[in-house]
Amino acid sequence: MLLAIVLACQSQTPSEGATALVAPGPAPARLVAPAYADAPAAVAAYWEGGSLTYGEVTTPIKPQLDQMLAEYLMGRYDAEYQAAQQAMDEKLLEAEAKKRGMAAIEDLLKAEINDKVGKPTEAELAEAYEALKRKLRGQSMEESRGILETAVTQKKQGERYAVYIGELRKSYKATVQLAFPDVPRTEVSVDDDPFVGPADAPVTIVQFAEFQCPYCGKARESVDQVMANYEGKVKFVFRDYPLDFHQNAIPAAVAANCAGKQDKYWPVHDAFMKNQAALAEGDLLRVARDAKVDMEAWETCRKDPAIEAEIRKDFEDGQKAGVTGTPAFFINGVFLNGAQPYEKFEAIVAAELQAKK
């Protein structure tokens, strides 16, 4: 605890009347001045006979620092966006209730949400029972009927509310116009890795991922939606980042890259991503045959050490860019970590396209 206090005190400029804690011995006057990113020559560490500048200290960890700042800025943007949207929706509900001569928002919600959501059907209750069976701790469907009815009703009301709010926003031509933050960017090469979309697209998404990671498969849903909604405007590049605790990651990457030598990369890639539990040797062979690759050439390719070397180069490039896990995305250099929902991708892509107009 004492150490934390000392470190915190040393990171600040002493206020008037305070006693500065300074190591004994000679020290330059600017030792007590804070070092900032816009002053890379400022002294960050000093000892008798030498010193280190802020730039020398932070350059090796620049990708990590940039990602930390980007995540903070994007997290703040998300919070501000959600707050603006929630406040806007509240005003829309108030305006609509007044327009329809209703005394309160609650009356509008009752008419548009509660009254339009029917009672749960037996099929819906059965589906909910299967989903919640573990939490119900052995209760029969009949014994848990009240809980199930509440759960199903709330789910349907939530879905109806989302639809209705969407209708209101469209009717009132409402939108949130918060400017997307200017986040740090990381230069990431696309190398010669497989891609879809125009080679000269204004937006490039580079993904570092692997085939055995379930989150990589989940993230593909968002990527597919981006590619569909921004057709012709986005280039998507896949770079290998096999994690050492996934034993099937490298064999699957080799199999996909060797299929790519025959222009069959994406059918194999997609098959692996759709069934990540099936990456054993027999599964690799089956997927390759289904993709109609030349099996003899494919098998020869898999034995070529250059293929695995290329995969490991992707991994090393990812590490240099600050990637620590999968999936990791760089959208025109803007870092996006993990299996994020479509809205996160859409916000960055839309901002990039707007900036290029």
pLDDT tens, residue by residue, 155-185:
999 999 999 999 999 999 998 888 888 888 8
| Pair (149, 267) in one structural domain | no
Report, as an integer, the average pLDDT of 329-354: 91
Residue 11 has what pLDDT? 30
Pairing of strands 43-47, 50-53: antiparallel
Rounded Cα–Cα distance for residues 341 and 218 (Å) = 9
| Pair (133, 236) in one structural domain | no
Residues 157-196: b if buried by 16+ CB within 10 A, e if exposed: eeebbeebbeebbeeeeeeeeeebbebbebebebeebbbb
Q: Is residue 19 part of a domain?
A: no
CATH code (residue 272): 3.40.30.10
Q: What is the percentage of the chain residues whose pLDDT exceeds 70?
A: 89
**What is the tally of structural domains in the chain?**
2
The residue from 136, 155, 171 where one domain ends is 171
Which token pair is 267? 């059918």
Q: What value does the mean pLDDT of the chain take? A: 88
Q: Is residue 35 part of a domain?
A: no
| Pair (232, 317) in one structural domain | yes
| Pair (254, 313) in one structural domain | yes
Q: Where are the alpha helices (DSSP H) in the chain?
A: 2-10, 54-58, 62-99, 105-112, 122-132, 145-171, 214-229, 249-260, 265-274, 281-290, 295-302, 305-320, 342-355
Q: What is the percentage of the chain residues whose pLDDT exceeds 90?
A: 69
Q: Is residue 305 part of a domain?
A: yes
| Boundaries of domain holding 165 | 88-171
| Pair (132, 237) in one structural domain | no
| Pair (262, 163) in one structural domain | no
User: Residue 62, class by beta-carbon neighbours within 10 Å (0-12 exposed, 13-18 middle, 19+ buried)?
Assistant: middle
Res 105 pLDDT > 70: yes
Which token pair is 237? 């590049």
Q: Which residues contact 294 (CB under 8 A, 6 or more apart)?
A: 262
| Pair (147, 235) in one structural domain | no
Residue 347 has what pLDDT? 87
Among candidate residues 17, 141, 18, the one with its CA nearest the CA of residue 9? 18
Q: Which residues contact 201 (CB under 8 A, 6 or more apart)?
A: 232, 233, 234, 235
Query: Using alpha carbons only, what angle is made at residue 29 by residues 28 and 34, rounded to the nearest 5 degrees?
Result: 105
Decide: 178 and 214 in contact? Cβ < 8 Å. no
| Pair (205, 335) in one structural domain | yes
pLDDT tens-digit series, residues 225-277? 999 999 999 999 999 999 999 999 999 999 999 999 999 999 999 999 999 98
pLDDT tens-digit series, residues 287-311? 999 999 999 999 999 999 999 999 9
| Torsion on CA atoms 126, 132, 134, 137, rounded to nearest 10 | -80
Rounded Cα–Cα distance for residues 53 and 38 (Å) = 12
| Pair (235, 340) in one structural domain | yes
Rounded Cα–Cα distance for residues 231 and 249 (Å) = 30
Q: Is residue 64 part of a domain?
A: no
| Pair (167, 232) in one structural domain | no
Q: Is residue 70 part of a domain?
A: no
The more confident residue out of 314 and 20 is: 314
Rounded Cα–Cα distance for residues 121 and 148 (Å) = 11
Decide: 197 and 167 in contact? Cβ < 8 Å. no
Q: Is residue 10 part of a domain?
A: no
| Torsion on CA atoms 305, 310, 312, 314, rounded to nearest 10 | -170
Q: Which residues contact 268 (CB under 8 A, 6 or more apart)?
A: 255, 256, 259, 260, 287, 288, 291, 293
Rounded Cα–Cα distance for residues 34 and 23 (Å) = 16
The residue from 171, 203, 234 where one domain ends is 171
Give the predicted TM-score (pTM) of the model: 0.69
Q: Which residues contact 25 (CB under 8 A, 6 or more apart)?
A: 48
Residue 22 has what pLDDT? 36
Q: Is residue 201 part of a domain?
A: yes
Q: Which residues contact 222 (CB under 8 A, 6 or more apart)?
A: 339, 340, 341, 342, 344, 345
| Pair (226, 94) in one structural domain | no
Using the 8-state DSSP alphabet, how is residue 59 labeled? G
Which token pair is 28? 């330059």
Q: Is residue 5 part of a domain?
A: no
Among candidate residues 233, 237, 236, the one with its CA nearest the CA of residue 357? 233
| Pair (267, 315) in one structural domain | yes
